[in-house]
Amino acid sequence: MRTKKYKVYPDSCVLISWITGEKRLNHEMDGVLDCFDKVLKGEILLVILRNTMFEEVELRTLESADKFRKLMMRKGIELPSVDLRVERLAAELRKYYSDNGPKELTEKDSLHLAAAIHYKVDAFYTFDEGKKGGISLLSLSGNVAGYHLLICRPPFNQTRLNL
């Protein structure tokens, strides 16, 4: 019997932090590293919206471009393109937050959230607290315009701290 893999949609900030080896506070990078370790071990399936990720991921060095390219070729990565269903759901989410606040969703955030909802991921990983003036994606966890979606920082294994 095949067991269902845990499906995760990483926000672009999580993907970029892994590619660039960012330094982050409060063990956030440990969560990113744990997530990608589990992808490499086949324990997690990543869903990454092809169109938006390639536009958003800034590949400043050949090394980061190569790391991103190798990740995209691995098993355990789903790369759906934006389609009409995701676009309609994204528009619905933008309208909901435009009408009901507290702030509006950006087009990119609405596409990421719509894809995560549409492809029925188990979790949406992000660091987005709305510090750049937008809505905090973390604050939407559990209820994104009436759709259930767990939104959280990438969790980390406590044993990583002992390494």
Domain map (residue ranges) of the chain: 6-162
Q: Is 110 exposed, middle or buried (0-12, 13-18, 19+ CB in 10 A)?
A: buried
User: pTM, whole model, 2 decimals?
Assistant: 0.87
CATH fold for domain 6-162: Rossmann fold (3.40.50)
Full pLDDT tens readout for the chain, 163 residues: 556 789 999 998 888 888 887 888 777 888 888 988 898 888 999 998 876 666 556 666 777 777 777 877 788 888 888 899 999 999 999 999 999 978 889 999 999 999 999 999 999 999 998 877 789 999 999 999 999 999 999 998 765 444 5
Strand (E) or helix (H) holding 77: strand 77-78
Instruction: Tell me how far CA of residue 150 lies from CA of 2, 8, 21, in angstroms.
Output: 24, 10, 25
Reading the block at residue 93, the tokens are 């989410």
Torsion angle of C-alpha atoms 31, 35, 37, 43, degrees rounded to 10:
140
